[in-house]
Structure 1
Amino acid sequence: MQKEFLELDGAIGGGQVLRSALSLSMVSGRPFRIVNIRARRSRPGLLRQHLTAVLAAAEVCGAEVEGAQLGSMSLSFSPGAIKAGDYSFSIGTAGSCTLVLQTLLPALLRAPDNSRLRISGGTHNPSAPPSDFLQHAWLPLLRRMGAQLELSLLRHGFAPAGGGQLELHVQPGQLQPLYLEERGAVLDQQARCLLAGVPGHVGARELERLAKRLKLPDEALHFVHLPQEHGPGNVLLLEVRCEQLTEVFAAFGQPRVRAEQVADQVAKQARDWLGGESAVAEHLADQLLLPLALAGGGSFTTPRRTAHLDSNIQVIEAFLPVRIHCKNLAPERVQVSLRTESPPIST
């Protein structure tokens, strides 16, 4: 008996609506159709990284797909059984490796055996979480939920050249609920400036400005000089380690953007989070929703509801018997909690 397609309107958000739908379709076995993909973006439709995510998801679960072309505004995806394997995918541009990885990981956690995943493209892209964020902020929380996985950065890849590569090893397993109400005391802060084919004085100015803004000691400032052929590229990263979790904030050097402005972006993100009492910052909050939904429960606090958070909630609730509630605890503190009336999807 053929399953009924879930109908989605991609205009409620950007590429994340499609990526979440792909992840949820694979693990739930529910087919979907989506229209108006990235309709409100300056370049609507499927870009290279979105197309790679679709084709990669189709390979992992043997899906039947219609509309998988560059620029396509609509797509249908009918999943089959998830297969373990040694997978390798190339985006072919500086499109984000991390976003493709996040799309496939939920399914690989449901695979019948261990998997290895290699993705080539952009590892440090201004419109996506850098690999450092996954390694030090997101994946440690998934491990706390029971996931057994290891991520390696094999080569940095910056926009617009790309050429980076990530490798992920995954053992299948069931995620357990996670509760993050407080972040705890700040234990350490470390700033790193990545430079590839960019003058050293740019990084020096970024670190000097960030240290001044956040009162960081000299020993917390680090240069990472990468081979020139990996660039041009420049990223400023701040890792804040707390008792309950680690957050990573990033800003990217770009043409006609002063080094001091890059540092100010990182400082603003960190101050916004550290100035309140929420456990997780905006980006991490958004990316915890789907793992918690697959675990069947959990909660966290975050400074505010965002458009990304709201669109992700809509997609998750459309696929799964999960209800996600947002409760204002204070002007800059929102509790997001998930519960389900049915058992979570099993392996």
Structure 2
Amino acid sequence: MKQDVIELDGAIGGGQVLRSALSLSMVTGRPFRIERIRAKRSRPGLLRQHLTAVMAAAQVCGARTQGAELGSQALSFEPGPIRGGEYRFAIGTAGSCTLVLQTLLPALLRAPQASRVWISGGTHNPLAPPTDFLTRSWLPLMRRMGAEIDLELLRHGFVPAGGGEIEVTVQPSKLSALHVCDRGSALSQKAFALTAGLASDIARRELDRVARRLDVRPAAMNAISLDPDCGPGNVLLLEYAFEHVTEVFSAFGQASLRAEAVADVAINQADAWLRSGAAVAEHLADQLLLPMALAGSGSFTTPGMTEHLHSNIAVIERFLPVSIACLEEGADQLRIEVSTRDQ
């Protein structure tokens, strides 16, 4: 029996609307059509990274597509059965490997056999979570939900050169409920400044700024010099490990920003989250919502509503029989509760 096509307005958000729709379509078998893709962005339509996600999703489930081309602002996607196995996807730019991966993972967890996936492109992109965020923050929580996923960073890839690569293995797994409403006891704080093909004093200046503004021990700060062929590139990572959650904040070097200003970006993000008392910051909130919805239950606290979170809720509720409640708990804390909706 042919299922009704879900109609989506891509103008309610950015690429997250498309990626969530692809994930949910593959998992539910429900076709969709999306129009006005990224309509409010400076470069609307499908960029290379989004097109790679579409073509990768189509390959994983044998989907039929219309409009899958660069710059397209409308796409139809009709999924077939999910297939595990080995896949290689090349973005061809510094577009985010992590976002392409996160589009595919919900489906690969439900594949009939194990999968191994290689994705090349940008591993450290200022418009997406870096690979370190996935390995240290997101994947540990996914594993607590029952997901059997391993990720290895084979080569760093920065904007604009790209050229990075990740390798991921996925075992078929059933997701269970997860509740992350408080952080628990503080365990550790760390800072990492990575540079590739740039002057070594950039990392030192970033870490000096961290030392001045945050309570991070010198032994917990590391300057890491990568192969110059991976660059030019620079990222500062701040890691906060708590009993129930680990958060990673990042800021990327730019030609127009002093090293101290780069450090301030990550420091300000971390400081706002720490003061809020919420369990997860905005990026982790975006990326926990869909797995919790697929599990049928879950909850977390986050500092507040964002465009990504709002549009993600709208897309998820179109595909799945779940209700997502947003409850204010003071000025700087929002509780998100996912539950199965009566049919």
Q: Does the alignment pair 1:256 with 2:266?
A: no
Q: Is the 8 A contact 1:192 1:223 kept in 2?
A: yes
- Segments of structure 2 that go 5 or more residues without pairing to the other structure are none
Q: Deviations over 1:1-60 (max 9, x none)?
A: 322110000000000000000000000000000000000000000000000000000000
The CA RMSD over aligned residues, in Å, is 0.9
Q: Distance in 2 between matches of 1:117 and 1:124?
A: 18
Query: 1:225 offset after TM fit, Å?
Result: 0.6
User: 1:153-302 to 2 correspondence within 5 Å?
Assistant: 153-302=153-302
Q: What amino acid is the match of 2:289?
A: L
Moved over 6 A (4+): none
Q: Distance in 1 between matches of 2:177 and 2:322?
A: 13
Query: 1:170 offset after TM fit, Å?
Result: 0.3
Q: Secondary structure at the match of 2:179?
A: strand
* Counterpart residue number, 1:76: 76
Q: Does the alignment pair 1:103 with 2:103?
A: yes
Q: What amino acid is the match of 1:327?
A: L
Query: 1:342 offset after TM fit, Å?
Result: 5.9
Q: Distance in 2 between matches of 1:342 and 1:70?
A: 40
Q: Distance in 2 between matches of 1:212 and 1:86?
A: 47
Q: Distance in 1 between matches of 2:73 and 2:285?
A: 28
Q: Distance in 2 between matches of 1:313 and 1:195?
A: 37
Query: 1:181 offset after TM fit, Å?
Result: 1.0
The 10-residue stretch of structure 1 (210-219 or 330-339) with the greater mean CA deviation from structure 2: 210-219
Q: Distance in 2 between matches of 1:342 and 1:180?
A: 24
Q: Distance in 2 between matches of 1:110 and 1:302?
A: 28
TM-score, L = length of structure 1: 0.98
User: 1:46-85 to 2 correspondence within 5 Å?
Assistant: 46-85=46-85
Q: Deviations over 1:177-236 (max 9, x none)?
A: 000110012110110011000101111100100111112121011011111111000000
Q: What amino acid is the match of 1:95?
A: G
Q: Is the 8 A contact 1:276 1:333 kept in 2?
A: yes
Query: 1:277 offset after TM fit, Å?
Result: 1.5
Q: Distance in 1 between matches of 2:322 and 2:287?
A: 16
Q: Distance in 2 between matches of 1:215 and 1:321?
A: 45
Q: Distance in 1 between matches of 2:8 and 2:69?
A: 18
Q: Does the alignment pair 1:133 with 2:115?
A: no
Q: Distance in 2 between matches of 1:251 and 1:186?
A: 23
Q: Distance in 2 between matches of 1:198 and 1:278?
A: 36
Query: 1:137 offset after TM fit, Å?
Result: 0.3
Q: Secondary structure at the match of 2:276?
A: coil
Q: Secondary structure at the match of 1:275?
A: helix
Q: Distance in 1 between matches of 2:23 and 2:214?
A: 38
* Counterpart residue number, 2:318: 318
Q: Deviations over 1:144-202 (max 9, x none)?
A: 00001100000000000000000110001110000011001211011001100010111
Q: Deviations over 1:231-290 (max 9, x none)?
A: 000000011100101000000000110101111111111111111221101110111000
Query: 1:341 offset after TM fit, Å?
Result: 3.1
Q: Distance in 1 between matches of 2:259 and 2:127?
A: 18
Q: Distance in 2 between matches of 1:157 and 1:302?
A: 30
- Segments of structure 1 that go 5 or more residues without pairing to the other structure are none
Q: Is the 8 A contact 1:10 1:35 kept in 2?
A: yes
Q: Distance in 2 between matches of 1:28 and 1:215?
A: 46
Q: Deviations over 1:52-99 (max 9, x none)?
A: 000000000000000000000000000000001100000000000000
Q: Distance in 1 between matches of 2:198 and 2:293?
A: 42
TM-score, L = length of structure 2: 0.99
Q: Distance in 1 between matches of 2:303 and 2:228?
A: 39
* Counterpart residue number, 2:33: 33
Q: Distance in 1 between matches of 2:89 and 2:336?
A: 34
Q: Is the 8 A contact 1:33 1:74 kept in 2?
A: yes
Number of residue equivalences: 343
* Counterpart residue number, 1:19: 19
Q: Is the 8 A contact 1:210 1:266 kept in 2?
A: no
The 10-residue stretch of structure 1 (202-211 or 122-131) with the greater mean CA deviation from structure 2: 202-211
Q: Secondary structure at the match of 1:280?
A: coil
Q: Distance in 1 between matches of 2:330 and 2:15?
A: 31
User: 1:112-151 to 2 correspondence within 5 Å?
Assistant: 112-151=112-151
Q: What amino acid is the match of 2:321?
A: P
Q: Is the 8 A contact 1:95 1:121 kept in 2?
A: yes
Q: Distance in 2 between matches of 1:222 and 1:85?
A: 38
Q: Secondary structure at the match of 1:330?
A: coil
Q: Is the 8 A contact 1:327 1:334 kept in 2?
A: yes
Q: What amino acid is the match of 2:136?
A: H
Q: Distance in 1 between matches of 2:50 and 2:336?
A: 28
